[in-house]
Structure 1
Amino acid sequence: MAKKTLILYYSWSGNTKKLAEKIHDQIEDSDLKAVEVADGTFDDDPYKTYDIALDQIQANSFPDIKLDNVDFNKYDLILIGSPVWSGYPVTPIKTLLDQMQGYNGEVASFYTSAGANRKAYVNHFKEWANDLNVVDVAENDSKIDEWVK
């Protein structure tokens, strides 16, 4: 039996959204939801946005997120999509992972990036996930088809 799957993603420029939609199309019985932040949380300039995110990480002060009321435990698997900023998942994902503590199913992440350090991303994601059951991390579009199977 297929796992009931929730795909959550944060997309700053639209690339992660496209990848999340592609995954959603490939997984039967999946739900797709965007994680959003208040307007003005980040800048239109990517470099300024990276600096804002690094400041949030250093201050351990992560942005509030907007996400429809979700019962995480209704799903067997939650896939979390994120751009990579300075080797980290985006900071709204940290807020999401904090809200997911207590979820008993499997968690996997996918990310979009131009030349990110995979090891750094994976380590930060797992650290932020804390007690969640992280089963895998897939990178970029090239390996997603294989990974989804």
Structure 2
Amino acid sequence: MKILVAYYSWSGTTKYLAQKIHRELPSSDLLEIKVPANTFSSDMYETADIYEKQKKTHHLPSVINMPQNINDYDLILLGSPTWDWGVASPVMKFMENIQNFKGKVAPFYTSVGNSQRFMELFHNCCGQLQIIDDFDDAHDNFANWLQKIKSEKQ
């Protein structure tokens, strides 16, 4: 099974978790989802305002490094920070761009506190993607989730 660990990270927390997952699945590929420079501010509150406008108008930022052959993968582990209880807009755009993906998607997400509605909002924007077990960095057991992912490989 070919696995892609794709993630967007604004502050570095989701990047850290993605790298940890990649180390545990050494045959996986790692992709940091990138958007054009200056899409977001270095100020958390300004970034939150930009995000709210993007959601309201559905003008999501472009992903500038989409994989060429997404269907070469069987499983995508897709990481996002929790923004306003939901999915970061670059991850929303990534999902929009991979609607033809035939494999499975396992979300993982990081939060500074409240991620209660993340999966509800994730499902609202995942379209036709086949979603499997998610991992909430604030509340779930990493080893247990990773074991489930490894069993998907077999």
TM-score (norm 1): 0.92
Match of 2:17 in 1: 19
1:13-52, aligned counterparts within 5 Å?
A: 13-52=11-50
Once the two structures are superposed, what CA deviation does each residue of 1:21-52 show, in whole Å capped at 9, x if it has no partner? 00001014200011011111111111111111
Query: Superposition RMSD on alpha carbons, in Å?
Result: 1.3
One-letter amino acid of the structure 1 residue matched with residue 129 of structure 2: L
Q: Which contiguous aligned blocks of 4+ residues in structure 1 show a shift greater than 3 angstroms? A: none
Q: Which runs of 5+ in 1 are unaligned?
A: none
1:56 aligns with 2:59: no
Identity of aligned residues (%): 36
For the residues of structure 2 that align with 1:83 and 1:117, how far apart are their CA atoms?
A: 9
Q: Structure 2 residue aligned with 1:126, among 113, 123, 126?
A: 123
1:78-117, aligned counterparts within 5 Å?
A: 78-117=76-115
Deviation of the 1:17 alpha carbon: 0.6
Q: 1:23 to 1:53 in 2, by over 3 A?
A: same
One-letter amino acid of the structure 2 residue matched with residue 27 of structure 1: L
For the residues of structure 1 that align with 2:4 and 2:35, how far apart are their CA atoms?
A: 19
TM-score (norm 2): 0.90
1:145 aligns with 2:137: no
